[in-house]
Chains A and B, each alone.
Chain A
Amino acid sequence: MTMCCFRGFAFTNYESRITNYGFFMSEMIATRDAYGKALVELGRENSRVVALDADLSGSTKTAMFGKEFPERFFNAGIAEANMVGMAAGLAAGGMIPFASTFAVFAAGRAFEQIRQSLAYPKLNVKVVATHGGITVGEDGGSHQSVEDLAIMRALPNMTVLCPADGPETAAAIRAAAAYHGPVYIRLGRSKVPVVFEGGCDFAIGRGATLRDGSDLTFITTGLMTAQALDAAKILEEGNVSARVVHLGSIKPLDVDLVLKAARETGAVVTAEEHSVVGGLGGAVCEVLSEGYPVPVERVGLRDVFGQSGTAEELLAHYGLTAGHLVEAAERVLQKKK
């Protein structure tokens, strides 16, 4: 490939596609819907699975669990701190609690309860935070968590997951239930394209190479993985070979897979629906700077809060589309030269 050819392609052909989210995919599922279904299945299999919510059960989808297992569902009302504390007590009493609210309230308002009552004692609670990132949409910046991955990742004992799609969410919920310890799982509000069409073999701490490539690697999480797959296809038309590595497990991070990608492709673009500070981009840069430094471009919110808009408008406005990933790829390839 030559940069010239790539640049020519990049600036003539892709822009019409960048607002067409999920261009190459058909089926769309919201991760929160997948969670609701998975939780009900877990509840049927294990009577120790309980669910808590803070007056958002219709939105987080824990209401599905509450409908089938009313005796194992606890609505804390609008009191997130107490919800997390109750979840801690339920876990200390042998239950497997799934506690849900929006990401901004879970990681933000209840942070200290998650720190002291869950992470410090390493209690077996799963905090499943929905409505993460800017695709919350019209509710605006007050409700769009762009910092939760960074906050949760900084906590010792905490496992942090951010699935790409519905099938991976179902698998991640199952893996979290099987793991003994605190887990933070970040889900979204909007429908997102299915990436793992043939099902998902999820394991905590393991990433997935969804597309091979040799010129650069997109290392992505959450809904940005679908965008990266789109971007890789666009780049392919310009003779750029982009690998796509999805990290559904932000912590522990699949260090070997990240280093392998750096060694084999020599350039990395990270992408997340989150601030570029402290989340996936931060985690990948920590690994690369210590283990195998290569040029990196971080795609995410540039240390700003979100605002009202539709999910698609916001992704475009804050530079989180396949088209922006193509641009980032171009920048990182310039640095690689």
Chain B
Amino acid sequence: MLNEDAVLDLEATARQLRVEILKMLNSARSGHTGGSLSAIDVMTVLYFHQMRHDPSNPRWEDRDRFVLSKGHAAPALYACLAEAGYFSRDDLKTLRRLGSHLQGHPDMNKTPGVDVCTGSLGQGLSQAVGLAMALRLSGKSSRVYTLLGDGEVQEGQVWEAAMAAAHFKLDNLCAILDMNGLQIDGEVAKVMNVGPLGPKFLGFNWHVLEVDGHDIQAIARALDDAERTEGQPTMIIARTIKGKGVPFFEHKASYHGVPPSDEELSQALEHLGHS
């Protein structure tokens, strides 16, 4: 349970990270806006409240791991890592540029703080399962967190991994599903309805929670609940809004893979109280 000040602090951090995401995407002139903004509240709680990690020692063996399975939300991850101090905030301007350590999708060999390479959808949960097995074999109490998209779970490999996580009773694994309801081609329910997701993961023997993915306190409580859960992996289904925080981006599939223009950026920053 977070106290009121902690919630306010995290909300302020999330707001600041939205600003960073929009600025870096505008500077890069390409990249994924909607899904970065929908995921950032969950990632803020992970990076600035929940996870054990040490920005001065990115390869610390006892750290918790984070797998951004929906790798196109890389701007959200980079914003968190810069804010935490893994690298300079100035680096964010180099997103997607030739020679930058900030690749279009997360790269463990280039970016300090990135634990695995992701980007091809549907593969992150398997990697998270493997990491959770490795940590358990090594006798570590570290936990593995992974963030998936709701379009992403149309990939069959996700369900192979879901089956394995429950089979191996990986209670050191917590997945969060950023359920913003949209994918590039439109509504998830219309493109290929993969729901209802809660019952599906329940059916795969996961511990399943559902929260408002923009409610800092609710996210923190769900992560606590996951940590207390024994003998099962936990799936937190986070109901989110694509483009959250910038009214003219919200609920729009068209901003899945489009960065804000200069004008949109200045309007967006105004909305976020950052002009």
A108 at the interface (CB under 8 A from B): no
Question: Chain A interface: which of B113-121, B195-203, B229-237, B252-260?
Answer: B113-121
Contact A90 B160 (CB under 8 A): no
**B266 → A minimal CB distance (Å):** 37
Do residues A84 and B109 form an inter-chain contact, with CB atoms below 8 A?
A: no
Check A90/B130 contact, CB under 8 A, given A72-B137, A79-B164, A82-B157. Answer: yes
Asked if A85 is an interface residue, CB under 8 A from chain B, the answer is: yes
Nearest-neighbour CB distance to chain A for B170, whole angstroms, equals 10
Contact, CB under 8 Å: B126 / A77? no
Residues of A within 8 A of B120 (CB): 112, 116
Complex partner residue of A82 from B65, B115, B126, B137, CB under 8 angstroms: B126
Complex: chain A residue closest to B124, CB-CB: A85
Looking at the complex, which one of A72, A85, A92 makes contact with B123 (CB distance below 8 Å)? A85
Closest to A84 in B: B126
- Within B103-117, the residues touching A (CB, 8 Å) are 107-109, 115-117
Q: A85-B123, A117-B123 are in contact. Are A90 and B131 (CB under 8 A)?
A: yes
Complex contacts, A112 vs chain B, CB 8 Å = 120
Closest Cβ of chain B to A230, distance in Å, is 44
Give the residues in chain A near B163, CB-CB below 8 Å. 77, 79, 82
- Mark contacts of B139-163 with chain A using CB atoms, 8 A cut-off: 1 yes-contact digit, 0 otherwise: 0000000000000000011001101
Q: Cβ of A81 and Cβ of B117 under 8 Å apart? A: no
Contact between chains at A89 and B134 (CB < 8 Å): yes
A71 is an interface residue with CB less than 8 A from chain B: yes
Contact with B along A111-125 (1 / 0, CB 8 A): 011001100111000
Chain A residues whose CB sits within 8 angstroms of the CB of B61 once the complex forms: 94
A76 to B115, CA, bound (A): 23
Interface residues of B in 77-120 (CB under 8 A from A): 107-109, 115-117, 119-120
Q: Flag if B126 contacts A116 (CB, 8 Å).
A: no
Is B127 among interface residues, defined by CB-CB distance under 8 A?
yes
Report chain B residues within 8 Å CB of A84: 126
Are B160 and A93 within 8 A (Cβ)?
A: no
Q: Residues of A contacting B137 with CB < 8 Å?
A: 50, 71-72, 93, 95
**B-side contacts of A50, CB under 8 Å:** 133, 137
A86 proximal to B (CB < 8 A): yes
> Does B108 contact A121, Cβ atoms closer than 8 Å?
yes
Q: Which residues of chain B come closer than 8 Å to A95, judged between CB atoms?
A: 133-134, 137
Residue A88 at the chain B interface, CB threshold 8 Å: yes
In the complex, the chain B residue whose C-beta lies closest to that of A72 is B137
B248 proximal to A (CB < 8 A)? no
Q: Check: A74 CB closer than 8 A to any chain B CB.
A: yes
Asked whether, in the complex, the Cβ of B127 is within 8 Å of the Cβ of A92, the reply is: yes
CB–CB A116/B131 < 8 A: no
8 Å CB contact of A85 from B65, B115, B127: B127
How many residue-residue contacts, CB under 8 A, span A and B? 110
Q: Answer yes or no: B168 CB below 8 A from chain A CBs.
A: yes
In the assembled complex, A234 has its CB within 8 A of some CB on chain B? no
A128 within 8 A of B: no
A117 to B67, CA, bound (A): 12
B275 at the interface (CB under 8 A from A): no
The answer to whether the Cβ of A158 comes within 8 Å of any Cβ in the partner chain is no
Which residue in A71, A86, A121 is a CB contact (below 8 Å) of B129? A86
Alpha-carbon separation in the docked complex, A75 to B182 (Å):
35
Interface centre among A93, A94, A116 (most CB of B within 10 A): A93
The digit string for A63-107, where 1 denotes a CB below 8 A from any CB of B, is 000000001101011010110111111111111010000000000
B138 at the interface (CB under 8 A from A): yes
CA distance A84 to B125 in the complex (A): 12
Cβ < 8 Å to B, chain A residues 244-275: none
In the bound assembly, the distance between CA atoms of A89 and B116 in angstroms comes to 8
Expressed in whole angstroms, the Cα–Cα distance for A255 and B119 within the complex equals 35
Measured CB to CB, the nearest residue on chain A to B117 is: A121
> Quick check: B108 and A85 within 8 Å, CB to CB?
no
Given contacts A85-B127, A92-B130, A92-B131, contact A116 B117 (CB under 8 A): yes
B52 to chain A, nearest CB (A): 15
B219 at the A interface (CB under 8 A): no
Given contacts A82-B164, A121-B116, contact A93 B134 (CB under 8 A): yes
Contact call A85/B157, Cβ cutoff below 8 A: yes
Cα–Cα, bound, A114→B132 (Å)? 19
Does B128 belong to the interface (CB within 8 Å)?
A: yes
Query: Which of B67, B126, B135 has most A Cβ within 10 Å?
Result: B126
List, in ascending order, chain A residues with CB within 8 A of B125's CB: 85
Q: How far is the CA of A141 from the CA of B60 in the complex (A)?
A: 48
Nearest CB to that of B106 among chain A residues?
A: A121
Do residues A79 and B131 form an inter-chain contact, with CB atoms below 8 A?
A: no
Sample (23) of A-B pairs whose CB atoms are under 8 Å apart? A74-B168, A76-B164, A79-B163, A81-B156, A81-B157, A82-B126, A82-B129, A85-B123, A85-B126, A85-B127, A85-B161, A86-B133, A89-B67, A89-B127, A89-B130, A89-B132, A90-B130, A92-B108, A92-B134, A113-B126, A113-B157, A121-B108, A121-B109
- Given contacts A90-B131, A93-B137, A97-B130, 9 further A-B pairs with CB under 8 A are A82-B129, A85-B157, A86-B129, A86-B130, A88-B130, A89-B129, A92-B115, A95-B137, A117-B127
* 6 pairs of A and B residues whose beta carbons are closest in the complex: A89-B130, A85-B126, A93-B134, A82-B160, A79-B160, A86-B130
